[in-house]
Amino acid sequence: MRLVLAGTVLLLAGCASSTIETPAPPAVPAVPAPPPAQVSTLPGPESLPGWADEDHLAAFQAYADTCRVARDAMSARQCERAIDIRRTSRPVTPSMARAFFETGFAVVEAQPAEGRSPLLTAYFAPEYEARRSPDREFDTPVLGRPDGWSRGQVLEERSAIEAGPPLTPPLAWMRAEDLFFLQIQGSGYLTFEDGSEVRAAYAADNGRPFVGIARPMAERGLLPTNGTSGEAIRAWLAAHRGPEARAVTALNPRYIFFSLDPDDGGDPAGAAGVPLPARRAIAVDPASWTYGDLVWISAGAGNLTGARHGYTGLVMALDTGSAIRGPVRADLYMGRGDAAGLEAGAVRHPLRMWRLIPRP
């Protein structure tokens, strides 16, 4: 997948996003496109809750930057229309951007799958310190892809990998809690003591399922039920570094291996293969959505301490994650660094989603 492995929140429900790990299976859209004759009868984006308050120009620029990942003919046509507007209009104005969406798309709301709660979470591209050689604090190796690894191969669980000799020569050394979160995100950025920076990109996994540690931490009384944000979990792991923290992180058997690439200063690419625009890209279930889908999200107030009131706006489906399942389930990419991570760790909001369907 691409990315980042999206790294998102360790949810009470036990999910995390993983942007970037696996090619998407054939998609079955959550909202199948109706015949062209029916599209004209559907409401337009102006009917969406909060549409008038949207930053249409920012949404337009993000869409034009990424829309070529869409493969169907109607989406490709609207994409070329956006690119042509940007090429010939200097500058594109907010009113032009709004008119582009209102004249070019109809909207249909996606319906939750039975037994799955509509939910918005968030992820980010973390930036962590690292070392070329281990020391007392930076004592956990960043491992590269094992020799002979193949997708779907099942290797030992996290606890066994961490307890044994490194499966590959370490690429770098990190604090244990930082590496754990880097693996949840799927990718991120490392800064060494000499100031050099690299991108740690997903390279392989051990074939084990992801298990969130937030719920068991709350059940064991290690954190309050409404205090299981990513930042709270990371702080607890740092304060209990060693056997106590490893016993908790071992509850998640999944283990990610990395490659180190130059840092180009931008955002990581998602599973769709394009850099993720901060706050305008979501990871989705590829069994319900297709890459390049234009989506309106509306998420009310969350229930985690520190959560913002809500998130509403136009986003593009550009990534996927191992815990993102169902037609009304999304992981919002917040960007790079600590501020993005602090916000992402507190996102757990009830969600509604609409697909914007290209008009003929």
Q: What pLDDT, in 10s, does the model give residues 178-212?
A: 999 999 888 899 999 999 999 998 899 999 999 99
Q: Whole-structure pTM over 0.85, yes or no?
A: no
The pLDDT of residue 107 is 97
Distance (Å) of CA 213 to CA 10, 245, 354: 7, 11, 31
pLDDT at 9 over 50: no
The helix (run of H) or strand (run of E) holding residue 59 is helix 56-66
The pLDDT of residue 308 is 64
Peptide linkage before 262 cis (omega within 30 of 0): no
pLDDT band at 256 (very low <50, low <70, confident <90, very high): very high
pLDDT at 23 over 60: no
Query: What's the mean per-residue pLDDT of the chain?
Result: 88
Q: What strands, in cross-sheet order, belong to the sheet with 127-129?
A: 127-129, 188-191, 197-205, 256-262
Instruction: Label the pairing between strands 311-319 and 294-299.
Output: antiparallel
pLDDT band at 83 (very low <50, low <70, confident <90, very high): very high
Q: What average pLDDT score do residues 19-46 get?
A: 66
The pLDDT of residue 27 is 53
The helix (run of H) or strand (run of E) holding residue 337 is helix 337-344
Stretch among 64-73, 194-203, 316-325 having the lowest mean pLDDT: 316-325
Between CA 292 and CA 358 the distance in angstroms is 12
pLDDT in tens, 112-128: 988 788 999 999 888 99
